[in-house]
Amino acid sequence: MDIRLKKKRLKNNNKLTLNIGGSKSESNRLLLLKQLFPSLEIENISPSKDTDMMSRGLHLLGEEINVGDAGTAMRFLTAYYACCTDRKVVLTGSERMQQRPIGILVEALRQLGASIDYLSTEGFPPLSITGKHIEGGELTIKANVSSQYLSALLLVGSTFPKGLTLHLEGEITSLPYLRMTLALLNQLGIEAVLEDNIITVYHTPEVEAQTIVVEADWSSASYFYSMIALSEVGTSLFLNHYKKESLQGDRILADIYQSFGVKTIFWRDKIQLIKERDDFSTIFSYNLMDCPDIAQTIAVTCFGLGVECFLSGLHTLNIKETNRLEALRDEITKLGGEVHISQGEIWIGVPRKIARNVSIATYGDHRMAMAFAPLCLKVPLTIEKGEVVEKSYPNFWTDFENISE
């Protein structure tokens, strides 16, 4: 389903408000923790397809579990089923998922005693997993890999009789996501600490009954930050169920978008975004190692504003739903931009003119669709296969239409 977007603007309503679903990252971690500790209850869970895949994967009784494109589910379920002594499963996914590496996580689990075999290409799904009793212990693992590998180990490590200690080598990638995992473990009463690149999770046989309310998703908020940035001065939008002290690394949006004239006001249970000024720098540079999921949004915002942009810390983007750096280069070039990419970096020049009525390919990547959509505040365009947003934000197009005209 292609989404044709005429040139739009945000509605002139100073009480314009959206309710965005719960954080996908928090929800998927909590679903696994609830499976390990049934006394836990979760509210405001993410409506995303990824979270639905995670939930289904935890409860399917058959031998084969297909997670589609849900990368978090693939990593978390690999660790979970490696510890389920009464289960043997085949864990598989889409064609793209079978191209996304998982060898570092599998090798770590094998060192702990897990029984996992590759059914096709070494280092990649599908996997045959025979659940084993795992005692736990100590592991050394690279820190500059997907934080989901580390989080998967930490979430199940609390059930190991010896607990789990990870010695991390190198600079940690996506550190806020790792801190989110540790914070959720601590919130349940599980002792988990990070000190000098060493993470220790202590054995916890059970936790007290409690309910955790999932905060709205900051990654999803990024697209509306972009819309406000591309709007006229004075444009305002409220987003419900956000808090200043967030576990989500993408909360950095509130700071980053000040560079584009967007002010964030934190109310008790919501935020207000206001386009406050147009006098901002024409050059923007930022290292997104801690928050790579917002790279596409920021890149498109800069392009739409005519801001020269250099983003770094993006070495994990080549193993996402698509190679996101290549996808950004190809689509922004079609729009009339000059783009150069290298390992983990992208530079975008100032366009003389943004091409109209361009059809944006999405490459099976939800973030490509949503990151480029706000550009319709500058020019009409088409988003190909717009249904891909279901992966993280099923109501995106409805919300998009409700606040624009």
**Inter-CA distances, 323 with 5, 10, 318, 349, 367, Å:** 25, 31, 4, 20, 12
Catalytic hit among 50, 52, 293, 365: 293
User: Would you call 293 a catalytic residue per the annotation?
Assistant: yes
Q: Which of 169, 150, 171, 153 is nearest to 289 (CA)?
A: 171
What gap in Å lies between CA 284 and CA 308, rounded to an integer? Answer: 6
Q: Which residues are catalytic?
A: 293
